[in-house]
């Protein structure tokens, strides 16, 4: 009967990045700035790909979807963190915590899938250029994005259900700035072995699978580029992949770095600080990486910004 009482919790407490009161205004200002830059930068990319006919290609279609996912990704965590700092409250309702965790998982996996789809797009463009428009037709592009959403949503529903079945103890403090699934599961009184099996199996399949696809695609791309006779052709082929490869490296290096650092230090606080890199910094940097290295996108953005200032 006592265990049943544990399940009837109403809220968790997010401890955030620091408990020092004097640091809260600095953290609030920093994260508000990064959030606004992320939303504005990704919205500009979406607007550019929609309004510029030259960007109505599979590559920019996937890029606009990645920008939309990045906006949603950062919006699952930072606004609640800013609200808690502003109201001087660490509370998040049980339902709010599960909802935040659910959408965070969806958009994290979506990022992963979309990067793999974009790598496949570059693989077809460089290794099979004559068949590119036939292979990467609008129907296939739409199905690829739809498939990414469906698989991400199904995985998130499964992970959320696994957390809902847990019974929680009276200590409900999460040493993080959002409801990260591992941190929430650590507060459970009931056995979490099945949760761990399901979680790490999903990470291995849904994380490792796309990463394997990305590595395979770029292995073929590099081989194809090296086989080109023209130096100009090599330079053009590499430039079309440089932005995507930079984003892939940033996403996976920061994500893997978070888990390696948390495993090495065993500190929840260190893990929370490290996770800022892939939850906040990476979505913020993606628009800059693509806009700075892409002439077509830079031209479209200059046209939009010029029209806005006129």
CATH architecture of the domain 2-309 equals Up-down Bundle (1.20)
Digitized pLDDT (tens) for each residue of the chain, 310 residues in all: 344 444 467 789 998 888 888 889 999 999 999 999 999 999 999 999 998 888 899 999 999 999 999 999 999 999 999 999 999 888 999 999 999 999 999 999 999 999 999 999 999 999 998 999 999 999 999 999 999 999 999 999 999 999 999 888 777 888 889 998 988 988 888 888 999 999 989 988 998 899 999 999 999 998 888 877 777 767 777 777 888 888 888 888 877 766 666 555 555 666 777 788 888 988 998 888 887 667 778 788 788 777 665 5
Sheet with 11-14: strands ordered across: 91-93, 11-14, 173-174
**Ordered DSSP codes for 138-152:** HHHHHHHHHHHHHHH
pLDDT value of residue 246? 83
Query: CA-CA distance, 30 to 251, in Å (whole number)?
Result: 21
In this structure, are residues 92 and 12 in contact, taking their beta carbons and an 8 Å threshold?
Answer: yes
- What are φ and ψ of residue 303, in 5° steps? -65, -40
- Give burial (CB, 10 Å; 0-12/13-18/19+) of 105: buried
pLDDT value of residue 198? 93
Alpha carbons within 13 angstroms on the beta-carbon side of residue 98 total: 15
Query: CA-CA distance, 284 to 286, in Å (whole number)?
Result: 6
pLDDT value of residue 291? 77
In terms of Cα–Cα distance, which of 200, 193, 40, 13 is closest to 94?
13
pLDDT value of residue 4? 43
């Amino acid at each position: 009967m006592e265990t049943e009482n544990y399940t009837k919790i109403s809220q968790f407490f997010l401890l955030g990045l620091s408990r020092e009161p004097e640091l809260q205004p600095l953290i609030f200002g920093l994260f508000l700035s990064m959030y606004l830059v992320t939303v504005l930068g990704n919205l500009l990319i979406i607007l550019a790909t929609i309004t510029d006919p030259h960007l109505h290609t599979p590559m920019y279609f996937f890029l606009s979807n990645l920008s939309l996912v990045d906006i949603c990704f950062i919006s699952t965590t930072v606004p609640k963190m800013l609200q808690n700092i502003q109201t001087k409250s660490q509370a998040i309702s049980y339902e709010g915590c599960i909802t935040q965790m659910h959408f965070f998982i969806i958009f994290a996996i979506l990022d992963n899938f979309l990067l793999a789809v974009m790598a496949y797009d570059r693989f077809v463009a460089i290794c099979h250029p004559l068949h590119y428009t036939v292979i990467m037709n609008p129907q296939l592009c739409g199905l690829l994005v739809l498939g990414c959403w469906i698989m991400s949503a199904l995985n998130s529903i499964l992970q959320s259900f696994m957390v809902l079945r847990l019974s929680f103890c009276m200590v409900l403090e999460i040493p993080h700035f959002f409801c990260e699934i591992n941190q929430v599961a650590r507060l459970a009184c009931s056995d979490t072995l099945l949760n761990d099996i399901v979680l790490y199996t999903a990470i291995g399949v849904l994380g490792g699978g796309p990463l394997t696809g990305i590595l395979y695609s770029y292995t073929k791309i590099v081989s194809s580029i090296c086989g080109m006779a023209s130096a100009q052709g090599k330079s053009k082929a590499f430039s079309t992949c440089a932005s995507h490869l930079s984003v892939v490296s940033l996403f996976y290096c920061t994500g893997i770095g978070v888990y390696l650092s948390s495993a090495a230090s065993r500190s929840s606080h260190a893990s929370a600080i490290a996770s800022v890199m892939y939850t906040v910094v990476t979505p913020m940097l993606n628009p800059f990486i693509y806009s700075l290295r892409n002439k077509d996108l830079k031209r479209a953005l200059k046209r939009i910004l010029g029209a806005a200032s006129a």
